[in-house]
Amino acid sequence: MKQVTTGAGLRLALEEANSLGRRRVLVPTMGALHRGHLALVKRAREEAGPDGIVVVSLFVNPIQFDRGADLDAYPRPLESDLAHCQAAGVDVLFAPDVAEMYHPDRSVTVSETCLSRGLCGATRPGHFDGVCTVVLKLFLLSACHAAVFGEKDFQQLAVIRRMVRDLDVPVEILAFPTVREPDGLAMSSRNVRLTPDHRADAPRIHRALMQSARLTDVAAILDAARKEITASTFARIDYLELVDAGTLQPITSLSHPALLAAAVFYGDVRLIDHVLVLPIIC
C-alpha cells in the first residue's frame, strides 16, 4: 500500500495506473475506520477488479463541521486506520492535512441548494457545502472513475449524486447499505465516544424507526418513533422526519417511498439513522 499526504504525491502514486487505463475507485472517509468503511472498501475492490486501483482518503474535513467541539473530539486513530487499510488490500491511502487541502484564502465552495436544505442540512448549517466541496476536490485529485458511499448517510449520498449530475462530474457513484452492530446500532466513528450507558441505550434509535415504519399513517409513524426515542432519559432528538425518499421533502401521506430519518444526541454525540418506508399498494 502506498501512503501519500499531498495531491502531488497522489498523482504520482496513480501515474502508472493512469497510463495503463486501470479503473480507479475511491472511498472517501474521515478515518476512525470500522466495519462499515471496510465494507465500502471491499465493494470498491469488486468494482475496480484485481488490476484496478482502490484509493481510500482519510481526511477529517473541518469545513463540514458545524460545531468546533465535535471536530476537536472526532477520533483520529491513524495507526489502526493504516493497519485496517493494509489488511483490506487498499492500494493507495491519501491522508492529507488541512493545509494541503485548503488554501488559507480559499474562496470557492460547492453548494447544493435543494436536497441539502432539510434534515441534517437544517440543523448543521454549511455541512453539505463542506461535504460537496471536499468530495469534488477528492474526485479531482484522485481522478477516480467511481466512488463508493454509504447509504447510512442517505442525504449525503443524494446530495453527491445531485452534484455529480448537475456538474457533469465523470464519476460513477456507488451506494452500499448501512452496516450495523449486532444490536442494530448503525456503525459510526462517533460510537466510540458514547458512554457505556449511552452505548447500551443507542440501539433504540433503529428499533424506534423500524417499529414505527410498520404503521401506515404519517402522524402515527412520527408519534410512535418519537415516543420510543424520548422514553430514554439519555436521548435528545435533533430531528425526526418523514420525507419523500427522492426529494427529501416532508410528506403528509404515504404514496411514494419515504425515508423515516432521525438525528439523536447522546450527550454531545450526535447519531443519525433512517429506514425506508414503502407505501402499501392495495
CB of 35 to ligand AMP, least distance (A): 7
What 101-110 contacts at long range (C-beta under 8 Å, 24+ apart), as own/partner pairs, is 101/59, 101/61, 101/134, 101/137, 102/62, 102/63, 108/133, 109/133, 110/136, 110/163, 110/167
Please pick, among 34, 37, 127, 206, the residue that the annotation labels catalytic.
37
Calpha distance 187→36 (Å, rounded) = 6
Closer CB to ligand AMP, residue 187 or residue 213?
A: 187
Sign (positive or negative) of CA dihedral 24, 129, 268, 266: negative
Calpha distance 39→231 (Å, rounded) = 33
Catalytic status, residue 37: yes
Supply 54's cell numbers.
482502490
CB of 54 to ligand AMP, least distance (A): 14
CA 89 to chain centre: 21
Q: Which of 250, 180, 179, 181 is nearest to 221 (CA)?
A: 250
Residues lying near ligand AMP in the complex (CB under 6 A) are found at 29-30, 36-37, 40, 149-150, 152-153, 176, 178-179, 186-189
CB of 196 to ligand AMP, least distance (A): 20
Element (H, E) at 241: strand 235-244
Closer CB to ligand AMP, residue 184 or residue 250?
A: 184
CB of 254 to ligand AMP, least distance (A): 26
Closer CB to ligand AMP, residue 187 or residue 248?
A: 187
CB of 231 to ligand AMP, least distance (A): 24
Calpha distance 161→148 (Å, rounded) = 11
Closer CB to ligand AMP, residue 22 or residue 34?
A: 34
Closer CB to ligand AMP, residue 32 or residue 254?
A: 32
Calpha distance 229→236 (Å, rounded) = 8
Which residues participate in catalysis according to the annotation? 37
